[in-house]
Structures are given as structure tokens and as C-alpha cells.
Amino acid sequence: MDEAISADDPTLALLTVEEAARRLQIGRTTCYRLIASGELESVPVGRLRRVPAEAVPEYVARLRLANRSAARAA
């Protein structure tokens, strides 16, 4: 399967770290840091690490909420 197509497939339940990074338009290393810190949810699948597709918009929503809170406090 072509990787560029699979990253945009809305029917995927689990994304590779690279696919999640592509959706967030961040680097793979940054995505792994978000996972390690617990900011971006991930699950083990055997020896693999996957990001639930719904975890990406949830992470973005938390970023937006934090940004709004910071803007109000300033």
C-alpha cells in the first residue's frame, strides 16, 4: 500500500508514528517525544507502537484549549 495514501485514509483506526507525525505536520522525532511524555496517546501492538487515529485531533484540541487559556491569562 502506498504510504502517502494510507496516512490520509480516514478509515484507519491505528496510525504509525510516522503517519501521526505527518497528520500533525511535525517531525517523527518530535512525535516520539510527545508519545514518551504522554501528551500524545499511543498503544503497543506486539512489538510495534501505534497512535489511535482519534488521539491526533484530541491532542490538537488540548493544544487549542491550552492556547486559549494562556491568551486569557495574559
pLDDT tens by residue, 8-48:
677 889 999 999 999 999 999 999 999 999 999 999 999 99
pTM for the predicted model, two decimal places? 0.82
CA-wise closest residue to 42 among 50, 32, 54, 30? 50
Give me the DSSP letters along 1-66. --HHHHHT-TT-SEE-HHHHHHHHT--HHHHHHHHHHTSS--EEETTEEEEETTHHHHHHHHHHHH
- How many structural domains compose the chain? 1
What is the residue range of 12's domain?
3-73
For the chain, give the longest Cα–Cα distance.
48
